[in-house]
Structure 1
Amino acid sequence: MHSLFEEQEKYMQQNYLSRPYAAITGIGGYVPQKRRTNLDLEQVCDTSDEWIMKRTGIKERRILDKDLATSDMAVMAIRDLCTQFNKDLDDVDAIIVATSTPDVMMPATANIIAKKLGLKNVWAFDMNAACSGFLYALDMGSSLIETERYKNVLVVGADNISSFVDIQDRSTNILFGDGAGVVWLEPSSENGIIDAFMQSNGDGREFLNIEGGGSLHSLNNETIAIEKKYIRQDGKVVFKQAIQSMSDACNQVLKRNNLDIDQVNWLIPHQANKRIIDAVGKEINIAADRTLSNIEYLGNTIAATIPLCIWENLKQLQKGDLLMLTAFGAGFSWGASLLRWAI
């Protein structure tokens, strides 16, 4: 006779195997019309198009109008998704927004988005893991689907990072732009999120941050607010750590799933710097023509880079393709996700 423990173990295994995948069944994006080109930056600081392209691979970035906020971009991206994939917003159960640039300190930007979309009684909340935010939120969203508590989850990556860029600082003004991307998750018996490996530590706090505006350096102290309101980074440290962390995360996922890199159809990395993208591809030994990128004309849009990159390269993806997503951000935070494309 089986013990009670054995019966419970058998039930849990059967239940786990019967859980659905969380599949991406729709994707949308939005980028502002205004462009900040390398020529524009030449007029405000000691830099050049040649220098910027050589170091980053970025030619221009999109900049949101001053009277708009992160939620406005997210709403536009969600509406784009609904139009392109014939989705009904009334079906949405939850909205997870990955952002480092919320509209306000409170309420959550996800709440504001729900209001602007006319949604009632949805679970809406924000996550902040900087440039890794979309992968963190995607993992959370897939967990909601896998538990079968929710059937339709919007995962948004959106940042109005230009609001925190010092236009005189050439270590950051050449990198960052604004944008929003979103995916619709729902259950699937065949394709979807297969695995995710997420990590973080506090080692990177001094090397990449926006210190002003929180409880430590509040806006009540005007001197601190002015001094610390911009994004700052130590490019050399971030560059080296990003390559190592993203490569390691990808290799961890491959190992855990008994896969060889040749079985992965597409690598879709965080769009931080073209040299980082190329280096990660070399480290994990994937062919350059199987790495998707859109950094040249959008720059680093923080949590929006990966969904925007997928959105802009949709025509290259085929249903059943195996995708590896990877990101690295402030914290430090990093990770990789493996999924079977369902569209």
Structure 2
Amino acid sequence: MGDSPIRILSVGTALPGPPVDTARLAECFGMDQLWRQWVDTFIGTRTRYLSVDLASGEVRHDLADLGESAATQALARSGISAEEIDVMVLGTATPDTLMPATVNVIADRLRIDGVPTFQLQSGCSGAVQAFDVASALLATGRHRTALVIGGDVIAKHYNVKADLSALPPSELVNYLLFGDGAGAAVLTAGDRPGAPVVRSVLTRLSGLDRRPGQTLRWYGLADRDSAEAPASEDYKAIEELVPVLAEEVAEELLDDLGWDRGEVDYLLPPQLSVTMTEKIAKRLDFPRATEISCVGDTGNNGNALLFFQLDRLLREMTMPSRAIAVAIESSKWIRSGLALERV
């Protein structure tokens, strides 16, 4: 990744509160005890954080709010001021508006100006893609410090008056899996002993001839009354394909670096749901790696997930040690991952 290693100085995270447990969801949507038991058994998510007020439908936090909070925390932890940021990248599937780009709204709030800014439109792999772009720019030597942000506010698509008992599984699952949040990281090409080094970043489109596993529509005046659901997904396809793509990511990262599975100390697996994450981690089979997962408590908050995992990793990561992170985007199937090392 160039002559100067790219290091992660800090991570910050932000959640809209308070946490919403499955019992609260069931209460709001009039679902019975059997429904709650089904969620606990087949999804496993205990709580999620939603930007929408379930009682009124009011959206109380947007992506810019959460991104600003996460970035402010990351900057404070890094010891880097906003004025020292040379480049800024945001990965999201749910920007607040088509224009202006949410990355630029966040930059304005942080008083960052006069630098390149990029916004990448992607599902759960968008955070890794943001790392990829930022790391590549830092490796050129033209930039020294980058602010990378990832997040999603999915609950704005919720219909709080929906009758969940009448929804098909492709729509119902969105109310169960997802939450909202944002994360940020400060990267540098400068020397900071002890800070984890980004050894490899991988992003690969893997959607040739594959039907989308997830669709998120953005309605305008012409089609806002469409009968199509704003969000739907083929959970069976996701359940079948994500573990396969995750294994491909892990194999490619290991081959690229010449690492053995037994040399990896920490695994950050894809965070679809508790039950899916458990299956994927078992399939990846890193024999001595500590699993870093958060989805049971945060819900699947899209591009924020990696940052919540990294936040915990940075607190726990011993020296020396190695970590592998994997993220899969299921809309048109992007496999992605990071390899980190603390030396």
- Category of TM-score, reference length = shorter chain: 0.7 to 0.9
Identity %: 21
Provide the rounded CA distance (Å) in 2 between the counterparts of 1:340 and 1:269. 17
Match of 1:315 in 2: 315
Match of 1:41 in 2: 25
Contact 1:261 1:284 in 2 (8 A): no
Distance 1:156 1:204, change over 3 A: farther
Report the Cα offset of residue 234 of structure 1. 1.1
Distance 1:141 1:341, change over 3 A: farther
Provide the rounded CA distance (Å) in 1 between the counterparts of 2:43 and 2:309. 17
Distance 1:29 1:106, change over 3 A: same
Contact 1:30 1:74 in 2 (8 A): yes
Match of 2:61 in 1: 68
Match of 1:5 in 2: none
Provide the rounded CA distance (Å) in 2 between the counterparts of 1:122 and 1:87. 16
Match of 2:238 in 1: 238
Between 202-211 and 269-278, the greater mean CA deviation after superposition? 202-211
Residue 175 of structure 2 aligns to a residue whose secondary structure is coil
Q: What TM-score, normalized to structure 1?
A: 0.87
RMSD between superposed Cα atoms in Å: 2.1
Amino acid at match of 1:325: A
Report the Cα offset of residue 59 of structure 1. 0.8
Distance 1:23 1:248, change over 3 A: same
Provide the rounded CA distance (Å) in 2 between the counterparts of 1:128 and 1:203. 21
Match of 1:193 in 2: 198
Match of 1:125 in 2: 118
Report the Cα offset of residue 205 of structure 1. 4.9
Distance 1:320 1:75, change over 3 A: farther
Match of 2:213 in 1: 207
- 1:21 partnered with 2:14: no
Report the Cα offset of residue 198 of structure 1. 1.5
Report the Cα offset of residue 202 of structure 1. 5.1
Match of 2:168 in 1: none
Distance 1:123 1:79, change over 3 A: same
- 1:291 partnered with 2:296: no
Distance 1:202 1:62, change over 3 A: farther
Report the Cα offset of residue 128 of structure 1. 1.5
Contact 2:11 2:184 in 1 (8 A): yes
Report the Cα offset of residue 289 of structure 1. 6.2
> Which of the pair has more CA radius of gyration?
1
Residue 24 of structure 2 aligns to a residue whose secondary structure is helix
Residue 112 of structure 2 aligns to a residue whose secondary structure is coil
Match of 1:78 in 2: 71
Match of 1:56 in 2: 43
Report the Cα offset of residue 275 of structure 1. 2.5
Contact 1:138 1:155 in 2 (8 A): yes
Provide the rounded CA distance (Å) in 2 between the counterparts of 1:181 and 1:259. 28
Q: How does 1:210-225 map to 2 (within 5 A)?
A: 210-213=216-219, 218-224=220-226
Residue 20 of structure 1 aligns to a residue whose secondary structure is coil
Provide the rounded CA distance (Å) in 2 between the counterparts of 1:236 and 1:288. 30
| Structure 1: unaligned runs, 5 residues or longer | 1-15
| Structure 2: unaligned runs, 5 residues or longer | 53-58, 165-170
Provide the rounded CA distance (Å) in 2 between the counterparts of 1:276 and 1:258. 28
Provide the rounded CA distance (Å) in 1 between the counterparts of 2:235 and 2:179. 17
Provide the rounded CA distance (Å) in 1 between the counterparts of 2:274 and 2:288. 12
Between 171-180 and 120-129, the greater mean CA deviation after superposition? 120-129
Match of 1:7 in 2: none
Q: What stretches of structure 1 move > 4 A for 4+ residues in a row? A: 188-191, 202-205
Provide the rounded CA distance (Å) in 1 between the counterparts of 2:209 and 2:312. 33
Provide the rounded CA distance (Å) in 1 between the counterparts of 2:209 and 2:154. 22
Provide the rounded CA distance (Å) in 2 between the counterparts of 1:319 and 1:326. 21
